[in-house]
Structure 1
Amino acid sequence: MKKVTLVFLLFISFCLLSEVKAQVAEISSPDGKLKLNVFSEEGKAMYSVSFQGETMLDKSPLGLITNESDFSKNLKLINTKKDLISKKYSNEKIKKSDIEYKANTLNVNFMNADQFNIGIEFQVSDNNIAFRYDIPPMKDRFSAVVQSEVTGYRFPAQTTTFLSPMMKPMTGFARTAPSYESGYKADAELGTKADYGYVFPGLFHIGNEGWVLLSETGVNSLYCASHLETTSDKNLYRVAYPDMAENNGFGSSGSAISLPGKTPWRTITIGDSLKPIVETTIPFDVVEPLYEPSQKYQFGRSTWSWILWQDNSMNYDDQSLFIDLASKLGYEFILIDALWDKNIGKDRMKKLIQYAKSKNVGVMLWYNSNGAANDAPMGPRNKMSSSVERKKEMKWLKESGVKGLKVDFFGGDKQETMRLYEDILSDANDFGLTIIFHGATLPRGWEVMYPNYAGSEAVLASEMLYFSEDVRKQEAFFATLHPFIRNTVGSMEFGGTFLNRFLTKSNKDKNKRHTTDGFQLATAVLFQNPIQMFAVMPNNLTDVPKFQLDFMKSIPTLWDETIFIDGYPGKYSVIARRHQDKWYVAGVNAEKTVKKLKINLPMLVNKNLELINDDKNETTFKKSVSVNKKGEFEIEIQPNGGFVLIN
């Protein structure tokens, strides 16, 4: 009898061990350095991530809650499936034009207490994890509302953060917030709370072990956008959906989804240095184009009067001057900003567009996005917010020869707002118009998803340099952050590179820049957007050195390759970008002392180079230099200064 009991107990123990083993799924990146475990613990779906044997995320929750069933608890892992994916694709708008993507895939399925299933699809590439939820029909229910997620990221205790807080809804100019225009705190304490959470992307430093960048991609009209929030566990950050107060309370804070349906991708980029963070293409790797381009779209550089000449410049004569400026610089576009409808009018605008065409300059026009979502008064208004008016307006725009639009003042991440973004882009494609979004959310894979998409602001951008002395003082600090955070996951329409020493129309008396000319030129390389609104002014044709103008005439906006060279967020940044066979290496320094660096540039060995840099008196100069046979180059960057190397 004792033997039977012992055999039975051993059998039960074996079954329990088998059950535990069955509750764990493992997968690694193709190079084997990045490892992901997915498991069930006390009825909850969890995952953990290590890189080169070091913990990067520890026991982090998975799951979501719908109005039909709860997939956050009482979950049992029922099956798993592994595979691999490999694809090549091209997209001229992002930081690497030709990409080969390889990843190992893991699909896990959990069953909840209602006997409903939920799938989670993981793709693990070198240095990247992307995952999303796959929700099948629930018996006879073919639709649901996803109310919230429990998806989280639990960091080791030594982690510090580089995060930008979400703005309070219905605040800021004309109640247009949130618009992703807050600053950052560098190396902040883990778990530091923000009233409304933090925007994507978020950068985390895991001490000596490495770096983690969190974001999301693949958000379209079928889902809301999300952000990060802190929890009672200071090590744990969680995915949060939009605040109900956004867009004047209109629209749901959750997402209505047709079943079977998939959520957007959550992305995690991991490395023992910042190189994988800067060079990642994961926001674009896991998404696909949503429609075919109606034509071959043009991207490039643009003049822009409003940034320094402001509202008073929205008149026929001043815009003619900036068309002439674009022509002299060889720029592809002029942006004519808010109030053109009132100050110029459609009839005279047609003449202005024809004048620009005679100068080989394309016209882009500003539009207000609302609607009833906020109180922004500038026109044109009520043209982009409804399908009927939008299509009528775009028909006129196409007939008049307009090349694209800059649409402003969105202020929210609800599904209803994501639908407006997509509707504007889709309709614009029908009429051959490119679209830039301003006062907007983070782009989430849109460079690939929407062929006529040409960038978003979603950053504390150049206009705040005009309006705020505090922002001017922090210009270099923020510039050293963007290549590692905001601009690494999506195009960033910053609208900068000022050659005026004073940020005014007169170029004197007030709004003095705290950065050097070398710094300003460097940001034309550091900041990436397929259409760049540069802040070059008509007076710069005669009041800045010729080599600076020559640089601004030749700078591209489309890049075939991007490489991290050196840097630390908030201190300094050095990035290399290639356009065709020409390399640009740019760096800026936010520290209070001269930064002396020895950088490795193997791609520039035996090449003749031109260096633009600043001396200790903040005088910007140009000279010929070379890289030694080892690919090494020594550079000094002045405080609030910058440099550019060009082959």
Structure 2
Amino acid sequence: MANEIGPAALLERVEPQVETRADAIVLTVRRAGRIVLDGVRLGLRVGGVDLDAGSVLLRSRVREITDEWTARSGKATGTHRYTHVETVHELRHDSGVEWQIHVRASGDGVAVRYALARLEGHGRLDADHTRLRFEPDARVWALDYQTWYETPRVGADLAELPAGAYGFPLLVRLPRAGAYVLLTEAAIDGRFSGAHAELDDDGELRFVAADESVEITRGPVTPWRVFLIGDLATIVESRFVDELAPAPLDPAGDLRWVRPGRAAWSWWSDFYSGAQLHRQRHFVDVAAHFGWEHLLIDCGWDETWVPEIVAYASRRGIQVHLWVVWHDLDGPEKLAKLALWRSWGVAGIKVDFMESESKDRYRWYDTILAETARLGLHVNFHGSVIPRGWARTWPQVIGYEAVRGSEYYVFYQGTPLTAVHNVIQPFTRNVVGAMDYTPVAFAAPGRTTSDGHELALSVAFECGITHFADDVDAYLARPDAARFLAELAPSWEETVLLAGDPDHEAVIARRHGDRWFLGGIATGPARRLTVPLDRLALGPGDAWIVGDGAAGGLTSHRRPVDDKLVVDVAENGGFVAVVAARGTRLHRAVARPEHASPRVDPPVQLLGPDGAAVLLTEGQLRLPPGWSAERLADDRWRIEAPAALAPGRAGVVTVETPGEDGVPVVAHARLFRPLTPGSHRLSALTMVEFHNESGPIERDQSNGGGNPDDGRRMSIAGVEFDDGLGASTPSRIELYPGGCADRFTARIGVDDETPGTAARMSVHADGVELFAVDVRAGEPPRDIELDIRGAATLSLRADTLPEHPEPAHVDWASGRLHHHTATTPAEQ
């Protein structure tokens, strides 16, 4: 006879029930008394033993869990209270292994996980046996599984869905049960590997872990397997995944530094702009005009000028985030870069290409999460796993990619993103957490969505920091879009599904203060959408609507609304609206004011023989790792460098004063270790700044192109060099010998990678030209030796010639600063 297990108290709508049988353990879930999930098989294989066959129930314990958490970003910021009913079923297998099934129930779902509470030492988890069947007339919205979740999402009847691997979250409509079910996971960390769904030829769906076998210890051995259950509004608005995640390590900690908002991002519209300081300044200027909060600099940035753009942006209350590849932060030595970047005033990182669900990779995630929380850095994961509740445990996580987003217009031309793919996202991927799709790509090649559809993605899709794909000038060129993107709120206090389904349209409303922002996206032919507004509880209201124009493009108008909003959309179209109670001011956007920089005197100087320098400033200091500071009288600070700082290298000390929107205004001082007697490689020295036409100045290789490290071995007329600096025309390289160098030597010329070009190369000391020569491709390298005694600054320049306006790549090969005196200026 089956042994029926059920909680002592059932929640109002979702009722899980577990039965143990001789050959199986089965979960049944009812909603409002009606069976939604029937015959869900539960179990594990541990150490080669299938625990779901031959186990008996020892006891069941039921408890009610009431808790609260405060969301800094997401579909609903603020403090949320929730109640779950948890039943822990303790079982013993015939082999003697004791194990547990934990079942959580809330008003919008059920979750299951497995634990071995009495395991001694270590064991092996060989397989998760959780599996289920859906009714044959079910419809499924899924994506083919890959570990970075960037395949298209599609809808299909279950009978037509081929066997194979599918990624979470996976949405299923169950017509007979009158409900939807969304399958996913929650509460994952480095103890586990991630899972996906596998559908076999018989229609059975299984949870399959990424690792075939993982080492386990006492306690939970899987994340929560989550089944969100209800109508579409219940699923879209659910916070169950976050509720299942652990609380932050410091629940009472001050997290006001976690700042959701909107970001300008130049990479999508201009691959190489991440290496161009002037382009980043322009994006800051327009972001400030829109009132946005953030700037993301993608690949190409250089440590030489990042402090400068951080300071420039901070004067407008804009914070800077940097892109990085995950393996550049793998291991303690590389991880230390985070503290260095934070010391410059950087606010966050976009870390990319993890592309794994393995337990080892989740251990890496654990490390990144802990260190960014300690340092106060936002994190945006790209090439990543889906959200599984980290926004609660680690509130600094403000975005994940794990979606086929706008970058696919760039990388995979000919396969544009479809309206069908987009409309599915609010009902699937975006349910479980922040989704960095990078929306509003007006200039996308081959785009089949309307302008109204593109603009509506800014509301229909949620991310803690929304990074807009297009060039900021593309927004300025569309006044209605520019005005709306300036009005768009930085965060959401409430999210409501107003209308739609995954096959046709999605109309999402998100509230900030007393205004609602609506985003509607549709697939299929042009038509009229009638959107009920009763769930907004506004009564008579006013709406400003931006949507598809009759002849293409965008059109806007304002009109009163009551219980519904009627909008015409184009084919694959969409719209946005700002709605508020009648008489409420709808437009409130203001540009960000500019603040004065903190005083830093002097901004560049040499450290003394004791490794210290005195800095005059009225602000607070942020120091590089290993540096120390002592406050003296009259706004003076004594700054001391670590002994490991090499001659000719500098540390960047950041000065902060209060600024706009809680963001400090920063300025920087660069403190150089003086050159010691001998010869010093140019490429090993810290540059004060540089300007280069094509990407960064390259160390020990030719300029290459717009990307960092894309050069090759330097070569001038066939003569190759091991070290030096590669540049393009026009360029400036600013160095600070600080009066410590006697001579500058180099071998210079046009690199062989730009045949047929020419340039003028010159050297300036303290603003005075010491040397200049015209060089041409194919000419042998020129040897230069210049007397630079007493010079504080050295500028290496390369400019185009009137008869050769095209860029030339030039090499400052085998460059050396020579110091032959026994003392430095600081010792004299």
Query: What's the TM-score once normalised by structure 2's chain length?
Result: 0.66
1:388 to 311, 315, 333: 333
Q: Are residues 1:516 and 2:450 paired?
A: yes
Cα distance, 1:291 vs structure 2: 2.6
CA contact under 8 A between 2:137 and 2:158: conserved in structure 1? no
- 2: CA distance, partners of 1:330 / 1:513: 28
Q: Is the 8 A contact 1:39 1:77 kept in 2?
A: no
Shift of 1:416: 0.5
State whether structure 2 residue 111 is matched by structure 1 residue 130. yes
SS in 2 for 1:622: strand
SS in 1 for 2:76: coil
TM-aligned CA deviation for residue 466 of structure 1:
2.8
Distance 1:592 1:104, change over 3 A: same
Q: Give 2:122's aligned residue.
A: 143
What's the counterpart of residue 484 of structure 1?
A: 427
Structure 2 residue 326 is the aligned partner of structure 1 residue 347: no
1:199 Cα offset (Å): 0.9
Question: Deviation of residue 627 (structure 1)?
Answer: 2.4
What is the CA–CA distance in structure 2 between the aligned matches of 1:267 and 1:336, rounded to whole Å? Answer: 36
What SS does the aligned partner of 1:346 have? Answer: coil
Confirm or deny that 1:157 pairs with 2:125.
no
Q: 1:306-345, aligned counterparts within 5 Å? A: 306-311=267-272, 313-340=274-301, 345=302
Deviation readout 1:480-520 (Å, 9 max, x if unpaired):
1111000001110111112x3x33xxxxxxx1432222212
Q: Which amino acid aligns with 2:461?
A: F
Q: Percent identity?
A: 24
In structure 1, the residue matched to 2:200 is 231
Partner of 2:158: 189
User: Kindly tell me: are residues 619 and 337 of structure 1, through their superposed partners in 2, closer, same or farther at Cα, counting changes over 3 Å?
Assistant: closer
| Alpha-carbon separation, structure 1, partners of 2:237 and 2:273 | 41
CA distance in 2, matches of 1:640, 1:232: 34
Separation of aligned partners in 2, 1:190 and 1:448: 37
Tell me which residue corresponds to 1:363. 320
Relative to its length, the structure with more strand (as a share) is 2
Partner of 2:288, secondary structure, is helix
- The runs of 5 or more residues in structure 2 that have no matched partner are 580-828
Query: More helix by proportion, 1 or 2?
Result: 1
CA distance in 1, matches of 2:21, 2:553: 62
Task: Encode CA deviations 1:256-306: one digit per residue, 9 max, x unaligned.
Answer: 2221335211111111x2111111110011222343357532221111110
Given candidates 31, 36, 42, the residue that maps to 1:56 is 36
- Structure 2 vs 1, CA of residues 312 and 91 (structure 1 numbering), >3 Å: closer, same or farther? closer
- Cα-to-partner distance string for 1:284-339 (whole Å, 9 max, x where unaligned): 11222343357532221111110111135522222222222222222211111113
Structure 2 CA distance for partners of 1:313 and 1:401, relative to 1, 3 Å: closer
Q: In the alignment, which residue of structure 1 is the partner of 2:478?
A: 544
Tell me if structure 1 keeps the 8 A contact 2:171–2:181: yes
When residues 47 and 28 of structure 1 are mapped into structure 2, their CA distance, relative to the original with a 3 A threshold, is farther
Shift, 1:211, TM fit: 0.8
Match of 1:493 among 426, 430, 436: 436
Asked whether the 8 Å contact 1:36–1:49 carries over to 2, the reply is yes
1:408 alignment partner in structure 2: 352
**Secondary structure of 1:523's aligned partner:** helix
Partner of 2:91: 110
- 1:219 matched to 2:188? The reply is yes
- Aligned-partner Cα distance in 2 for 1:360–1:566: 37
SS at 1:497 equivalent: coil
> Does the C-alpha gap of structure 1 residues 202 and 100 become closer, same or farther in structure 2, counting only changes over 3 Å?
same
Taking the TM superposition and a 5 Å limit, the aligned residue runs for 1:465-614 are: 465-472=409-416, 474-498=417-441, 500=442, 502-503=443-444, 511-540=445-474, 542-545=476-479, 547-602=480-535, 603-614=537-548
Equivalent residue letter for 1:640 = N
Q: Is the 8 A contact 2:273 2:280 kept in 1?
A: no
* Contact persistence 2:154–2:420 (CA under 8 A): no
Q: CA 1:55 to 1:23, structure 2 compared with 1: closer, same or farther past 3 Å? A: closer
CA shift, 1:75, in A, is: 1.5
Aligned residues: 573
Residue-by-residue CA offset, 1:11-53 (whole Å, 9 max, x unaligned): xxxxxxxx53x4443677521x323221112332111223234
- Cα RMSD for the two superposed structures: 2.1
Larger-Rg structure: 2
- Indicate the SS of the match to 2:518: strand
Distance, in Å, in 1 between the alignment partners of 2:415 and 2:174 is 28
| Aligned-residue offset at 1:615 | 3.5
Deviations 1:84-126 (A, max 9, x none): 2222332131212232312222221221111222111112111
The code of the aligned residue for 2:364 comes to: L
1:277 to 2:235 alignment:
yes
Residue of structure 1 aligned with 2:74, choices 87, 94, 100: 94
| Counterpart contact for 2:125–2:221, Cα < 8 Å | no
Matched position secondary structure for 2:427: coil
Q: Which residue of 2 aligns with 1:78?
A: 58
**Rounded Cα–Cα distance in structure 1 between residues aligned with 2:215 and 2:88:** 23
Q: Which amino acid aligns with 2:507?
A: V
Q: Distance in 1 between matches of 2:58 and 2:247?
A: 33
Matched residue SS, 2:312 = helix
Residues 1:468 and 1:88: Cα distance change in structure 2 (over 3 Å): same
Change (3 A) 1:601 1:636: farther
Aligned partner of 1:263 in structure 2 is 222
Deviates more, 1:157-166 or 1:257-266: 257-266
CA drift of 1:232 comes to 4.6
Instruction: Indicate conservation of the 8 Å contact 1:44/1:72, yes or no.
Output: yes
Q: Letter of the 2:561 partner, please give it.
A: V
Could you tell me which amino acid in structure 2 is paired with residue 101 of structure 1?
Y
Q: After superposition, give the CA deviation of every residue in 1:343-392 in whole Å (9 maximum; x if it has no partner).
A: xx31222222222223332111000012xxxxxxxxxxxx311122212x
Residues 27 and 600 (structure 1 numbering): CA distance in 2 closer, same or farther, change over 3 Å? farther
Matches of 1:112 and 1:263, distance apart in 2 = 18
**Secondary structure, aligned partner of 1:121:** strand
Shift in CA distance, 600/326, structure 1 to aligned 2, threshold 3 Å: closer
Counterpart Cα distance in 2 of 1:157 and 1:513? 36
What CA distance in whole angstroms lies between the structure 1 residues aligned with 2:198 and 2:455?
Answer: 36
